[in-house]
Chains A and B, each alone.
Chain A
Amino acid sequence: GQQVMQIPQYQHVQEGEDFTTYCNSSTTLSNIQWYKQRPGGHPVFLIQLVKSGEVKKQKRLTFQFGEAKKNSSLHITATQTTDVGTYFCAGSSGGGADGLTFGKGTHLIIQP
């Protein structure tokens, strides 16, 4: 079955440093979604990428979808304490009602 691998599992950064998490799929994806889960909270949708090579920005967050549609990244510039949480990528190979396959997530820990 489809596998989505995400690295690193944990990332410690000083406040103000940049952060990147990477996502790789064993199969070509039709789309990839990114979610953020704050400590004690539930995953919240951030963004969806659909096109090969697509880049989207949300303030300090930059999302990329690879040319082959098998990998993706999330980059945060100048981290803030509010960025703390776990970031999940989730991919789908189909366009129908299939469940997403989630990566195991990257826990971002920020040291003030």
Chain B
Amino acid sequence: DVKVTQSSRYLVKRTGEKVFLECVQDMDHENMFWYRQDPGLGLRLIYFSYDVKMKEKGDIPEGYSVSREKKERFSLILESASTNQTSMYLCASSFSYHNQPQHFGDGTRLSIL
């Protein structure tokens, strides 16, 4: 069965810390995505990657960076966490052709104090 695993379900960090959110998929998908989900705003795309070491900015990349050193792993990095980055973060993956469905992880609820 399809599996997207996010490293933490809940995470609490302090303002100014560097935060790493990890995502691993076991489906050999080319594409991987990071979204944040906030009440009333839906899902907003932060970054996506269509191949190892490749990345593209989404709609709200400011304050974030990503890393994809291996095909199965996509990391989201908050360089200096701020309180407005408190949110639910969702990772997803898909095959690359014909707009295949995205498979989501369970999400990481991140609180920045």
Contact = CB atoms under 8 A, between A and B. Distances in A.
Contacts of B22: none
Given A1-B59, A42-B90, A42-B107, A100 B102 contact: yes
Query: Which residue of A95, A103, A104 has the most chain B CB atoms within 10 A of its CB atom?
Result: A104
Nearest to B96: A97
Query: Which residue of A1, A30, A88, A102 has the most chain B CB atoms within 10 A of its CB atom?
Result: A102
- Contact count band on A: 20 to 34
Contacts, number: 62
Interface in B20-43: 30-31, 33, 35, 40-43
B10 to A, nearest CB: 12
B98 A45 contact: no
Interface in A18-43: 30-31, 33, 41-43
A88 B58 CA distance: 18
Contacts of B106: 41-42
A33 B101 contact: yes
Contacts of B103: 45
B101 A43 contact: no
The 10 closest A-B pairs by CB, nearest first: A97-B50, A104-B42, A45-B101, A42-B104, A102-B43, A99-B45, A99-B48, A31-B99, A92-B99, A43-B104
